[in-house]
Chain A
Amino acid sequence: MEKFTKITAIAVPLDRVNVDTDAIIPKQFLKSIKRSGFGPNLFDEWRYLDLGEPGMDNSQRSVNPDFVLNKARYANAQILLARDNFGCGSSREHAPWALEDFGIRVIIAPSFADIFYNNCFKNGILPIILPESTVDELFQVVEAQEGAQLTVDLVQQTISSDDSLSHNIDIRFEIDQFRRHCLLEGLDEIGLTLAHSDDIRNYENKQKEITPWLFNTR
C-alpha cells in the first residue's frame, strides 16, 4: 500500500448526504476480475448522461457537465469533501478501489459508514471526520476560490491552506494512532504481516531442518 504522509491538492466538494457505495461504483461493474480500473466509473450514474456498462469506452460517453467532478476547476482533485454518512450501503471494497483508482487520497466528512471507513484504510485512503461546522467552512472556502489547494498533513494531523488562499485554514483532526501509523508506513494487513518477515524466515529456517521435503524447489 502506498504511504501517506502529506499531500497538497485541489479539493472537490460533493454536496450530498448519504452517498452510498452503489452510487460510488454501480453494481454492474462488480463482475470485474480486477480491483483496479474502476476509476473511470466512479460515480458513474452522476458523471455520465448515458447508462454505463462494463467494457464501454468511457472517453466516448457524454459527460454530465453539471456534476462537480466534471468541472474543469476540480480536475486532478485528490481530496474529496463530502457530507454525512458517506459510503453507506453494501460492504463492497470496490468503492474505495474506485476512489483510489480515480486519484482520491483524502475524504473529509462529518461522518462515514463503518465498513467503508475501515476499507479506506486498507486501500491507502485517509478518511477524516470533522465537525459539521468545520466541514461547512471547508465547502465555502473551496467553492469560493478556484484553484484553491489544501494541505493535509498526517504527521501533524492538520489541514491547512497555502498563501494562494485568501481565507486562512488551520484545522487539527483526530485519528486512531494505530491506523495513523499504518498509513504513515504504508502498511496494510499484508504489510503488517510482512513487518514480521524475520519471524517468518526464522520459522522457515527451523522447518527446513524438520520437514526438508516441504522446501524442495519443485
Chain B
Amino acid sequence: MTAKTLYDKLWDSHVVRENDDGTSLLYIDRQLIHEVTSPQAFEGLRIANRQPWKLSANLATPDHNVPTTDREQGIADPIAKLQVDTLDENCDLFGITEFKMDDIRQGIVHVVSPEQGATLPGMTLVCGDSHTSTHGAFGTLAFGIGTSEVEHVLATQCLIQKKSKNMLVQVNGRLNAGVTAKDVILAIIGKIGTAGGTGYAIEFAGDAIRSLSMEGRMTLSNMAIEAGARAGMIAVDETTIEFVKDRPYAPRGELWQSAAEYWQNFHSDNGAHFYKTVTLEASDIQPQVTWGTSPEMTMSIDDTIPDPAMENDPVKKDGMKAALDYMGLTAGTPINEVPVDVVFIGSCTNSRIEDIRAAAEIAKDKKVADGVKQALVVPGSGLIKQQAEDEGLDKILTDAGFEWREPGCSMCLAMNADRLEPQERCASTSNRNFEGRQGQGGRTHLVSPAMAAAAAIAGHFVRIDTL
C-alpha cells in the first residue's frame, strides 16, 4: 500500500463518489452554524421544501454579533438582533441543537465545538466561516464554506470538492521560553507568506508542534487560513485523545475504546509524499508582533520596524510603505517603544482557558498602564468564562484594570459594539490585522495573550521577561 499523508487519509475516508470532472462528493460529518452565514441557507431549505439530511450532524451557536456586556439588555443593533433571532427560529424550526445566547455553553463556534467534544479526530467538519481550519488541530479535515454550501451540507450532508495538494510545515526542536503557538504560526506565515499555502492543505509537524497543548494546536490551525490554506492539520496523538476524552459529545464506553483505536491511524505514514515542505527551527522563533496590515508582516519583539527602502521587490516595497503609513509607524523604530491604546484578548485564535491563564499570570499584582484606554478580555465560551472565574482569573484581571466580558467574537471583527476608533492602536490576540478589521482606521498588532497582557501593563509592546 502506498504511504498516505494525514490529509490523504481524511480525504479518502470521506469520498462518497468521484465525478467525471475531477471533483468528488465528500461526506461531511459535522457542520457548525452561526447567525451570519446561515439565514439564507435555511431559507433555501424552506423554499425547496427540504429537511436537513442528518440533524445530529449540526451544532449552532450565535457568536459574531452578540453583545459582550449586559446580556440582560438584549441586542441593541436591530440588524444584529434580527440575525441572532433568525438563527434561534431556524434552529427551533428544524430541530437543530443550538446553544443560545443565555446558555452557558454559548461562545465562538470554533471554541465551543472542541470544548463539547463535537470536534473529533478523523472527521470532516465545515462551517460558514474561514477560521474553521481551527479544528484541524484534532487530526480533522476542517474548512470554511459559503452560504450556498451551508445549504448544500444541510440538505445532503455532502459537498462537491476538489482535492488540494499536500504541504508539510515542520517545526523542529524546542521552543524558547515565552514563545507560544501564536508566535510559531506568525513566524510560519512570516516565512511562507499569506499566499504560501494557497491551493494546499497544510500539515503541521515536528517536535515543537508535538509539544503544544491542544489549545496551542488550535491557535496554530486557526491561522492556517491566514497562510492561504483552507485547512491546517495536526496528527492525532495522546494529547489529542486525552483532550477529547469525557467531553459531552465524545463517544463513551466501548465506543470510546474503538474510536480511540481508530483515531491512532490519523497521522502521515512514513515516506508519504508532500508536494511542498517548509522547515523551521524552533530555536530561531522569538515572540512575534505584526507591524503591518497583513499577518505576514510580522517581526520579533527585539527588532525594529522594517525599512521599505531595504526591499528590492517594487510591489512589496509599495505594500510596506502603505502599511507603515496606515499603521502610523516609522521604519527603524524599536517595536518595544511603540505605545498601545487598546488591548484585546479574545477571538477564536486565543480565548481559551490557557490563553486567559497566560494573560492573568502577567497581570497578577500589576496595573494596566495609564495610557491604555481599554483592555478587554473576552472568553471564547460561557464555560471558559466560568472556569476562569472558578480559578479566580477574572479577579486578577479586573484588579489589574482589565474588563471581563461575556463570550463572543467581539473586537476580533467589530461586528458588535466593541471596536477601535480611527488611529487607535491595539495589541490584539486575534488573527487578522487588515485595514479596518477592528473598526474603521483602527491599527491592529497581532500578538500572543501573554504579549498582549504585557503590553497592557507596560503601555507599549515589551518582552515579557523584562516586564
Contact = CB atoms under 8 A, between A and B. Distances in A.
Contacts of A214: 29, 120, 123
Nearest to B251: A213
> Which of B16, B27, B43 gathers the greatest number of chain A CB atoms within 10 Å?
B16
A189 interface: yes
Contacts of B17: 196, 199
A216 interface: yes
A34 B16 contact: no
Interface string B158-180: 10100000000000000000000
Interface of A: 1, 31, 33-36, 188-190, 193-194, 196, 199-200, 203-204, 207, 210-214, 216-218
B47 A213 contact: no
B158 A200 contact: yes
Given A196-B16, A199-B17, A203-B27, A211 B122 contact: yes
B121 to A, nearest CB: 10
A1 B48 contact: yes
B30 to A, nearest CB: 8
A200 B27 CA distance: 8
Contact of A218 (B83, B123, B249, B256): B249
Contacts of A36: 43, 46-47
A217 B50 contact: no
A1 B48 CA distance: 6
B394 interface: no
Interface residues of B, number: 38
Contact of B152 (A190, A210, A217): A190
A190 B16 contact: no
Contacts of A33: 39-40, 43, 82-83, 86
Contacts of A199: 16-17, 25
A173 B129 CA distance: 42
A41 B274 CA distance: 53
23 contacts: A33-B40, A33-B82, A33-B83, A34-B40, A34-B43, A36-B47, A188-B48, A189-B148, A189-B152, A190-B48, A190-B152, A190-B156, A196-B17, A196-B25, A200-B25, A200-B27, A200-B53, A203-B27, A211-B122, A213-B250, A213-B251, A214-B123, A216-B251
B153 to A, nearest CB: 10
A212 B253 CA distance: 13
Given A34-B40, A199-B16, A203-B16, 12 more contacts: A189-B148, A190-B44, A190-B151, A193-B158, A196-B17, A196-B25, A211-B122, A213-B258, A214-B29, A216-B255, A218-B56, A218-B249
B56 A216 contact: yes
Interface in B24-61: 25, 27, 29, 39-40, 43-44, 46-48, 50, 53, 56
Contact of B155 (A34, A190, A196, A212): A190
Given A194-B156, A200-B156, A218-B56, A211 B43 contact: no
A61 B50 CA distance: 35
Nearest to A190: B155
Contacts of A218: 56, 249
B157 interface: yes
B94 interface: no
A207 B27 contact: yes
B169 to A, nearest CB: 28
Contacts of B157: 200, 204
Contacts of B79: 31
Contacts of A203: 16, 27
A211 B152 contact: no
Nearest to B16: A203
A67 B46 CA distance: 32
Contacts of B82: 33
A194 B155 contact: yes
B139 to A, nearest CB: 13
B27 A193 contact: no
Nearest to A34: B43
A194 B262 CA distance: 30
Nearest to B45: A190
A95 B262 CA distance: 48
Nearest to B82: A33
Contacts of B43: 33-36
B259 interface: yes
A199 B148 CA distance: 22
A74 B255 CA distance: 65
A204 B158 CA distance: 11
A216 to B, nearest CB: 7
A104 to B, nearest CB: 16
Contacts of A1: 48
Contacts of A211: 122-123, 259, 262
In the A-B complex, list the 4 residue pairs whose CB atoms are closest, starting with the nearest. Answer: A213-B251, A33-B39, A193-B156, A203-B16
Interface string B107-129: 00000000000001011000000
Contacts of B255: 212-213, 216
A123 to B, nearest CB: 9
A189 B160 contact: yes
Contacts of B46: 36
A177 to B, nearest CB: 16
A120 to B, nearest CB: 15
Contacts of A194: 155-156
Contacts of A210: 262
A190 B160 contact: no
A200 B16 contact: yes
Nearest to A188: B48
